[in-house]
Structure 1
Amino acid sequence: MKTIFITGASSGLGKAAAKLFQAKGWHVIATMRKPENEMELRKLSNVSLIELDVTDTDRTNKTISNILKSHSVDVVLNNAGYGLIGPLEALTDEQIQMQVQTNLFGVINVTRAFIPFFRERKSGTFINITSTFGLLGYPTCSIYNASKFAVDGFSEGLAYELANFGVKVKIVAPGGMQTDFAGRSMQGGFHPKYTQLVEKVSEGYSDEQIANYTKADDVANVIYEAATDDKNQLRYIAGNDAIGLYEERIGLTAEGQFAKMRAQFIF
């Protein structure tokens, strides 16, 4: 039986992935900050609930070290993260630091803790969840963009480093998803000088728009594909909106897409 280690498994995509891999016969180590509150995954066989806050480096290292003493992990899914939206001028130092600490350093720290185990075994796969906004910029998302672009670059660089050891690094970049990401998992700030821009951007988070987004279960299927297809593919784009934007970026070039999108937000 193969084992997957998942961060941020208490809701949304992380929980959908945990349920899918469990249904496929995997042992799932589902980590989250408050496992005592998780009732659904607790009822499933071959699911271990573990407390983990990816922003706490020391405890993350100790937790993973303890897990590897009794489990042979095959795939690490770095999923924990949240969105921070708002004009840069509206964000506090604390908000910016926590965004980067969670979305970027959380991925780096978890990954670094597993590398020696995978390297010595000469097998293993890291799957890092980025976003459409890890491939292209978007207004009021500059810090979120920064964190996800960074994970994309980190993953590509690391993929080269680990290739000679038989260890794979992959990226799954979803577009909009029908989860609570736009609610519970999103933070931000307000600045009066950006009201018109924020109103324009907010159209993308309307109930009508969210209804057209990809379901978390569908993105979980892409994650499962990345974990099991045995390909040396780096990026997996998940969701019709994400695929459309990525193909547009390739077709127009990054500068061409920038010019097109910039025109949408100039008033």
Structure 2
Amino acid sequence: MQKTIFITGASSGLGKSAAKLFQSQGWRVIATMRNPEKESELNKLKDVVVLPLDVTNLDQIISITKKVTNLYSVDVVMNNAGYGLIGVLESLNDDQIQRQITTNLLSVIRISKAFTSHFREKKSGMFINITSTFGLIGFPTCSIYSATKFAIDGFSESMAYELAQFGIQVKIIAPGGMQTDFAVRSMELEKHDAYEELTAEVSKGYSAEQIANYTKVEDIAQIVFEAATDHKNKLRYVAGNDAIGLYDQRLKEGTEVQFQSIKTMFTF
């Protein structure tokens, strides 16, 4: 029987790569995005349904979820939509902070809630929530972004406990750097004169040269597919060599040792 995955933020990057991979493996893909009229690739693929969804719009989340679950038996929901708000806290205004939290965190909570009854009634289903290395480890200029990603991690673990009794799984994919245009397309960067040296040092990680060393987005999509199909009772999938290295260091040396090491790098 054909399986169905619902993906947010499918217009580019990891969301689009995952949509193409699942489709190639025989899945039906519900690919959602803010501007489906601009999509010129996914809507040409067999068994891919492209739908409009602005994840900051609660009414639209509810209506799209009802529409989809009335038509299809959804097996996996991939909460992928999000962007990076990069800058020291002093450089960010309240609107920026609220928009980041609404897009990255509230959307995951709202979409999860909207699909939970569907999964509970069929006694199966899976949420795959995309976090980040910075949802496991803090980093300068990423305070609000990390706040959303750390929160998704805690939310996901808590929901995994709540939903286990109904045969529903929750899994977390925590990628490191990916070879995408995320730094251009999905990053909002703010600066503050008092933190000029710190910001310049951190920004080296977003250079074209550094991005070229990151993991291919197709490889991260493959990890998403494995999480959806490996039948493992596993919560977190740390994805990408840089992410695995940092996380393994944290597990081996301990949080405090790694904290002091990173802090020293950015003490001028």
Does the alignment reach a TM-score above 0.5? yes
Cα distance per residue 1:76-97 (max 9 Å; x no partner): 0000000000110000111100
Residues 150-179 of structure 1, C-alpha deviation per residue, up to 9 Å, x if partnerless?
Answer: 000000000000001000000000000011
* 1:41 counterpart residue number: 42
Q: 1:117 matched to which residue of 2?
A: 118
Provide the rounded CA distance (Å) in 2 between the counterparts of 1:100 and 1:180: 22
TM-score normalised according to structure 2 size: 0.99
The corresponding residue for 1:237 is 238
Number of paired residues? 267
2:224 aligns to what? 223
Structure 1, residues 1-29: CA drift from partner, whole Å, max 9, x if none? 10000000000000000000000000000
Q: CA deviation at 1:239?
A: 0.3
Letter in 2 for 1:118: F
Q: How far does residue 203 in structure 1 lie from its aligned partner after superposition?
A: 1.0
Which residue of 1 is the match for residue 210 of structure 2? 209
Identity %: 63
Per-residue deviation, residues 168-225 of structure 1 (Å, max 9, x unmatched): 0000000000111111100021110000000110111111111000111000000000
Q: Does the CA-based 8 Å contact 1:91-1:188 persist in structure 2? A: no
Question: 1:95: which partner in 2?
Answer: 96
Partner amino acid for 1:5?
A: F
Q: Does 1:195 align with 2:196?
A: yes
Tell me what 2:185 maps to. 184
- Give the structure 2 partner of residue 28 of structure 1: 29
The runs of at least 4 consecutive aligned structure 1 residues that moved more than 3 Å come to none
Q: Name the CA distance, whole Å, in 2 between partners of 1:191 and 1:79.
A: 30
Residue matched to 2:251: 250
Length-normalised TM-score, structure 1: 0.99
Report the counterpart of residue 61 of structure 1 in structure 2: 62
State how far apart, in whole Å, the 1-side matches of 2:38 and 2:99 are: 23
Asked whether the equivalents of residues 74 and 124 of structure 1 are also in contact (C-alpha less than 8 Å), the reply is: yes
Give the 5 Å matches for 1:69-80: 69-80=70-81
Superposed CA RMSD:
0.5
Q: Does 2:149 align with 1:148?
A: yes
Unpaired runs of at least 5, structure 1:
none
Q: Secondary structure at the match of 1:126?
A: strand
Does the CA contact (< 8 Å) of 1:35 and 1:50 recur in 2? yes
Measure the CA separation in 1 of the matches of 2:151 and 2:182: 20
1:42 offset after TM fit, Å? 1.1
Deviation at 1:58, TM superposition (A): 1.3
Q: Deviations over 1:225-266 (max 9, x none)?
A: 000011110000110000000100101111111011000000
How far off its partner does 1:38 sit?
Answer: 0.3
